[in-house]
Amino acid sequence: MFAHNLRQLRPKPTGMWHLDEMVVRIGGKQMYLWRAVDSEGEVLDLLVQPRRDTKAAPQLIASC
């Protein structure tokens, strides 16, 4: 119920968004972080992968 109330307070995402890619180190291993970000800077979804898969990331995040 607490998580539901927090989701209700978040602003609704806009129709325009873009995909960010960053390389991060998690536990000493290089990982690829993909973020779907709307035009107001709200993070819509994210994906962490051990290897760079430029075709799979947009398809997975496009479902958000």
Q: Which whole-number Å values give the CA distances from 39 to 2, 12, 42, 63, in the listed order?
A: 27, 11, 8, 17
| Structural domain harbouring 52 | 2-61
Residue 24: both structure tokens together: 């991060």
Strand 29-38 vs strand 17-26: parallel, antiparallel, or unpaired?
A: antiparallel
Is the pLDDT score of 47 beyond 80? yes
pLDDT tens digits, one per residue of 22-41: 999 999 999 999 888 888 88
Tally of structural domains, the chain: 1
pLDDT for residue 8 is more than 70: yes
pTM for the whole structure:
0.64
